[in-house]
Amino acid sequence: MQHDVKQGLETGGASPKHAFGGWEAAVGLAERWLARAERVDALLEGLPKGLTGQERARAQQLFYGVVRWATRLEWALAGLMSRPPRTKVKAVLMIAGFELLEGGKDSVAKVIHHAVEKAKTVASAKEAGLVNAVMRKMAAKLAETPPDLATEFAHPEWLVARWNLQFGAETTRKLLEWNQQPAPVYVRWRKVDEAVPEFLTPTQWSYFYEVTAGKWDEVRRLAGEGALYVQDPSTRLCIDLLAPQPGEVILDACAAPGGKSLFIADRMQTGRIIALDEPVAPGKSDIRLVRLKENLARAPAGVDVALVQADLRKVNTVFYRNLNLPESYDAVLVDAPCSNTGVMRHRIDVKWRLQDGDFARHAEQQLELLHAAARLVHPGGRLVYSTCSVDAQENEQVLKAFFDSRAGGPFELEKSVQAYPWKDGHDGAGAFLLKRNG
């Protein structure tokens, strides 16, 4: 089975005489995700290098559709087959099911015909017959309204129930609707003194632009040249609160993959940044640390940047002294690991990996990070705590626990902001500015 799944991604299961494009690549991606629940970002890294930009984009769009709508598609397939099909065939059905959801009733005949023809090459003629029979019934089921919000918007029941308690039914529906929409690509323009290309559309947020569809190659080129950085406008919230100043010494305590470190450096232009993040376990690689190094290399020439691999919670001032690093800082940013409930439109598989107990686990870790960071702030300095969560347990409740502890004594909360996607029009985030008085 493992060999079959791998082959599905690399060759699409088609013989060499058949063209291998985005649709076939999406089948391979969906097959591996269904079989092994691999992370979406890791699967996309394995797309065949020969795919053109257009076909690569199509593969991602179809695959994202399957992951985003997985339980709605499973609901539509339930009871339509006497026994489960091969994983590859299920991937074909799920991709075609997403196309039906996307295209509506006018697309039914075209989608079914296309899926059947593709199934003949990526699967078999016999299985193509199964696809034909199942898809006709599935189309009718997908036209129905599911019995509950969790199925209608393809989210875990426990998560929808949690949001209902926190936000109420009306707001929960708005959040679910938001999460199910494909996310625009935003970039932050770094060369503020230079003209912005026409394919970047201005937004209401300074220096943030939306990318015109089909311009990904240009974006990659400009990113490589250091002109822009792919980044959601919500990231500005914690940086605005941090308010980096030229010449300061700043610690980014949870730095990988480095987008916020680079943002800080761009604001400072001169000064020093210590970018710290947890080391990778022996024998493992972490693409986030690779990207952190790449991003730090693009910092303005006037900013001295040091990358340190360490767990903030497990090191003391002696550690910093031994590395000839500052033992206290003008400002510290703790952009803490969290549930990612504010960024589910971008991180589409998070909802399937998240567990109810994760919120308490994250909150405990977040409080530990805040305690560790507090020891490193100069008197009169600033500490910014931020998450990409919309959940109070990871935001306000963590701050309350911090101020109830001894570590919170020297600090006062100067300002906070909580962004909600359905209100603010970008990813959700919480950010809190604490000032140390003494």
Going by pLDDT thresholds of 50, 70 and 90, the confidence category of residue 289 is confident
Q: Whole-angstrom Cα distance, residue 400 to residue 336?
A: 16
Model confidence at 16: pLDDT above 80: no
| Coil vs helix vs strand at 12 | coil
Per-residue pLDDT reduced to its tens digit, 191-239: 999 999 999 999 999 999 999 988 988 999 999 999 999 999 999 999 9
Tell me: pLDDT of 179 over 80.
yes
Strands (E), 157-298: 186-189, 200-202, 208-211, 228-230, 249-252, 271-277
* Domain assignments of the chain as residue spans, ordered by start: 2-144, 151-179, 186-230, 233-436
Residue 6 has pLDDT above 70, yes or no: no
Nearest Cα neighbor of 72 from 105, 94, 87 is 94
> Rounded CA gap, 178 and 345, in Å?
7
pLDDT band with cut points at 50, 70 and 90 for residue 17: very low
* Cα of 191 vs its chain's centroid, Å: 25
Span 397-408, average pLDDT: 97
Q: What is the DSSP string of 291-326?
A: HHHHHHTTS-TTEEEEEEE--GGG--HHHHHHTT--
pLDDT at residue 12, rounded to an integer: 43
Residue 7 has pLDDT above 50, yes or no: no
CA distance 221 to 206: 22
The β-bridge partners of 70 are none
Note the pLDDT of residue 290. 87
Instruction: Tokens for 163, please give them.
Output: 């949001």
343-355 burial code (b ≥16 CB/10 A, e <16): bbbbbbbbbbebe
Q: CB neighbours of 343 closer than 8 A, spacing ≥ 6? A: 232, 234, 350, 388, 427, 428
pLDDT (0 to 100) of residue 19: 66
- For residues 375 and 47, what is the distance between their CA atoms, to the nearest angstrom? 45
pLDDT above 90 for 52:
no
Q: How confident is the model at residue 45 (pLDDT cuts 50, 70, 90)?
A: confident
Lowest-pLDDT range of 58-72, 273-287, 335-349: 273-287
Give residue-wise pLDDT tens across range 242-268.
999 999 999 999 999 999 999 999 999
Determine the 3-state secondary structure of 331 from DSSP: strand
Average pLDDT of 294-300?
Answer: 95
What local confidence, expressed as pLDDT, does residue 25 receive?
A: 96
**H or E element: which one contains 327?**
none
Catalytic residue numbers? Answer: 388
pLDDT at 9 over 70: no
The per-residue pLDDT for 279 is 83
Superfamily assignment of 2-144 in CATH? Answer: NusB-like (1.10.940.10)
Neighbours of 149 (CB within 10 A): 17
More confident residue, 45 or 430: 430
Question: 97, 98, 90: which is closest to 119 by C-alpha?
Answer: 90
What is the CB neighbour count within 10 angstroms for residue 56? 19
Distance of alpha carbon 183 from alpha carbon 161, whole angstroms: 24
pLDDT at 14 over 50: no
Q: Considering the domain 233-436 in this protein, what is its CATH number?
A: 3.40.50.150
Residue-averaged pLDDT of the chain: 93
Which long-range contacts (C-beta less than 8 Å, at least 24 apart) are formed by 140-149?
141/75, 141/76, 141/77, 141/80, 142/72, 142/73, 142/76, 142/97, 142/100, 142/101, 143/105, 146/72, 146/75, 149/173, 149/176
Q: Does 285 have pLDDT greater than 90?
A: no
Compute φ and ψ for 382, nearest 5 degrees: -120, 140
Which residues, including other chains, have CB under 8 Å from residue 416's CB and lie 6 or more apart?
Answer: 399, 430, 431, 432, 433
Q: How confident is the model at residue 20 (pLDDT cuts 50, 70, 90)?
A: confident
**Strand 377-387 to 411-419 pairing:** unpaired
Lowest-confidence pick of 17-21, 296-300, 374-378 = 17-21
Q: Write down the pLDDT at residue 10.
A: 43
- pTM (two decimals): 0.91
Domains 2-144 and 233-436 share a fold: no
Percent of the chain clearing pLDDT 70 (strictly above): 94
